[in-house]
Amino acid sequence: MLSGTIEIFIHLSEFRNVDLYQQGVYQLKASIFQRSQTQIDTLYAQPYMTVEKKKFVHNQANELLVEQHKLVDTNFYSKAFIIKYCDQIVELNEGCVFRIEIQAYPEMDPQNIYCVIELLFCELSTITQEDFKIDKLYQYQKCVAKFQSRLHNIKLIKEFVSCQFDESHFCLLKLTIHSILVDFKYHQSNLTVEQFMSNITNKFISNLVFDFYEGYNKILLQIHEQFENYYQKNIKQCISDEHIQNKFGRLQYLNKSLNYREFSEYSTRMDELRNNVHLQEEFCQQLFLEIKHTSSKIFVVWYQFIDAQNFMAETLTKILEQDYILKIKERWGESIFQHVQTVEDLSQQEIQLGKNHKMMAKQYRNNNYYKQLEPLNIEDVDLFPEAKIHPIVFRDVSRKKEFQLKSVKGLHLFVFVHGYQGNSYDMRLWRNNMAIRYPDHLTLLSKCNEDNTDQDILVMGEKLALEVKRWIKEWCPKDNFSKLSFLGHSLGGIIIRAALPHLSKYKDKMFTYLSLGSPHLSYTLSSSKVVDTGLWFIRKWKKCICLNQLTLNDSSNPLETCLYKLSSYEGLGWFTNIALMSSYQDTYSPFESARIQRPKGNSKDVMIINKMIDNIMKNLSNQKIDRLDVNYELVGRSLDTMIGRAAHIAFIDNSALIKLSLYSFDEFFD
């Protein structure tokens, strides 16, 4: 049997609590394994060496660390640490080297290799100080969440991993994974190495001999060259001290043995090789001698790379993280179709655009290219949905010729506003994902209208403005932020517009306005009889002021209705970016209404809506509007799907859409 030896080094950089629900003692448990094609047998990698940075960068408080890392069976356990508050960062700076030996013949293409990180937890109240000792804590721990990734191209991996657990345990573990094929071994059973080679090359046929050399010896040579170049490059980039840089930059390889022969010396003797048993024996010895020699060189670079982690891990993690972000953006970008048009009227859009997008999305999901996208080397199995259910975004950018993007640097405050009968929790998925993508941003989850979203929209706008002012006074007393952005779902997008006139003090800081399925032009464009009937019933039963306003029923004179008045309010034009997210599948917020685009027809309602659009456009000093139409493949035949509510709610609970937005539209969020 011919096997390949692969070493995998995982380095845990830091753990950040974004939104864990419980205080307590947490620990990370890592394992690596290969599942058989039948999913029955599992081969575990063996952890055999731990790596730890000798000094913490910020002299972390010892009371947060309650147990040191350790190896148990086929698992690596990180330090255990206490989580006490939101956005707490724990520096780990530790790692482990795993080794796994896998079958290398008939081909060296390992499949179904996984890296699993488990989040372990126990409550502080259940343990004593004595239990903090090694080998005692596990008695009280339970696994509360898992991160599972599939490793591809494992012969040489050098990647950053953003390890995020489930939405009930929203936290981030920054780690890097390096893997390398270090050796091939022939395990002699009933065949000598010469007999094995004779069998697989059909008695040393030259082209089969060359194929073996290309597939094994040459692969090792290439891996050594690539990894040495990677190592030397990062030694220079990551270590500033010239003395240390020179120390680790020197690689001391073993000399070749005296009887070593190059493969080229035999390549001209292939005809002779077929009939000369002595030459076959010599050739096979040299073939595997070259493998051993190349393997020894790979080990030299590999172990020196691991030793250098003490000096380069922090910077290398940052470099690989930037590479990761670019790859993630590129992958999400496969689901975005962009159309840019220069127009005189920002409200004009193609007729039947929603229907066209729906048809295009269906065609793209059935496209083999989209179905067979190459996975990332470290494939987070929960990150990208299957092609058949992946949200697809059609981005229509309307701009005027003189449009120029304003560039502003500094602290960025994002305000998240929930919709009708919602609460601040509705927007946590957006907030938590933003905290990971943009950790320096300030965020406010609005709560001021949680108990009463039936009231007057203008009143709710005043309350939101007061909440923002109070938050800024408490957390930014000197207004030391440079950008103020708002993101609102459904009714929340309209409440934001109602709040803006009361926030004119900050108009020079306004950066991005993003509404998610907000019926800016009322519900009168609705094509759903079910939704219309439901709105009528709620208005009559609950005497709901805001629903009367959203259906233009708050006054007999359309020009005196709340939404019509709001269309003349200033504020929207202060923003550098205006982005309107809609879905043709969302019947809760009519398509044209969510996009502030002119509807077809010449009815009385359409005439009023066109006047509202005219008012809105007059107050826009910016010269660009982004309209984002999201197409979902909604699985099942639930009532929510049938009446269009599922698409409306997906704006705030579809994790893939939120991540796609945050990684793909930097100009809105940066």
In order, the DSSP letters of 504-529 are GGGGGGEEEEEEES--TT-STT---H
| pLDDT attached to residue 528 | 59
Q: What is the mean pLDDT of the chain?
A: 89
The pLDDT confidence band at residue 55, using thresholds 50, 70 and 90, is very low
Q: What residues are paired with 339 via a beta bridge? A: 396
Q: For 102-150, what is each residue's pLDDT tens digit?
A: 999 887 778 899 999 999 999 888 887 776 665 678 788 899 999 999 9
| pLDDT attached to residue 636 | 56
In order, the DSSP letters of 366-425 are T-HHHHTPPPPSEEETTTSPPGGG--EEEEEEEE-TT-------S-EEEEEE--TT--GG
Q: Please identify which residue in the block is written with the tokens 């759903």.
A: 528
Query: Half-sphere exposure (CA, 13 Å, Cβ side) for 224?
Result: 21
Read off the pLDDT of each residue in 41-70 and give the average, rounded to a whole number: 71
| pLDDT attached to residue 542 | 60
pTM of the entire predicted model? 0.89
Closest alpha carbon to 193 in 465, 1, 433, 466: 1
Q: For 244-270, what is each residue's pLDDT tens digit?
A: 999 999 998 888 776 778 888 888 888
| pLDDT attached to residue 41 | 83
Q: Which helix (H) or strand (E) holds 643?
A: helix 639-643
Distance CA 98, CA 118 (A): 17
**Radius of gyration for the alpha carbons in the chain, expressed in angstroms and rounded:** 31
Q: What residues are paired with 52 via a beta bridge? A: 94
The pLDDT confidence band at residue 530, using thresholds 50, 70 and 90, is low
Distance CA 401, CA 396 (A): 16
- How far the first Cα of the chain sits from its last, in Å, is 54
| pLDDT attached to residue 307 | 94
In order, the DSSP letters of 138-174 are GGT-EEEEEEEEEE-STTEEEEEEEEE--TTEEEEEE
Residue 338 scores a pLDDT above 90 = yes
Distance CA 12, CA 175 (A): 4
Residue 57 scores a pLDDT above 50 = no
The pLDDT confidence band at residue 402, using thresholds 50, 70 and 90, is low
| pLDDT attached to residue 666 | 93
Q: Does domain 334-669 sit in CATH 3.80.30.20?
A: no
Residue 39 scores a pLDDT above 80 = no
Q: For 406-463, what is each residue's pLDDT tens digit?
A: 677 789 999 999 999 999 999 999 999 999 999 999 999 999 999 889 999 999 999 9
DSSP symbol at 562: H
| pLDDT attached to residue 369 | 87
Enumerate the domain spans of the chain.
1-187, 188-333, 334-669
SS3 179: strand
The second-level CATH assignment, the architecture, of 1-187 is Sandwich (2.60)
Distance CA 131, CA 556 (A): 72
Cis peptide before 599 (omega within 30 of 0): no
